[in-house]
Structure formats: C-alpha cells, structure tokens
Amino acid sequence: MDILDQLADDAPEHEPETLPSLDEQKAIVAKLKALEEKGELTDEILAQYFAIKQKDTSDGEEE
C-alpha cells in the first residue's frame, strides 16, 4: 500500500467544515473591527468566530 492509500484510509469519515462565503467573512471582519474600536471585543466573542480545537489532555494518557 502506498502512502496516499494509507492517508485516504486514515482520513475522517465526515465532510470537512466549509468556510463562510467571502461576503460573510467581510461582514464578520467589519463587525469585529467595530467591536474592537469600541473596546468591546472579548475572547468570548472571538471564540464564537474562531473555534480553536485543542487536544484533550484530561484523559490521563501520557507517553
């Protein structure tokens, strides 16, 4: 089996997430810039738009 076949077998079964359209992205940027100018931009607001997927290290598995 070559590396491409192995990667294809290891690929997740679900559809990849799609990005917002360019117009939607521009609207998000405008909203975030406006909040930043008002001093109202918080980590919670950023998290709504930029989900950061972190590895769960609470399961106790360490190498």
Q: Where are the domains of the chain?
A: 18-55
Give the global pTM: 0.54
Residues 2-61: pLDDT tens digits? 787 777 777 667 666 788 899 999 999 999 999 999 999 999 999 988 875 554 444 444
Q: How far apart are CA 35 and CA 29, in angstroms?
A: 10
Higher model confidence: residue 63 or residue 35? 35
Q: How far apart are CA 27 and CA 34, in angstroms?
A: 11
Q: How far apart are CA 34 and CA 46, in angstroms?
A: 13
Residue 26 Cα to chain centre, angstroms: 17
Identity of the residue numbered 51: A
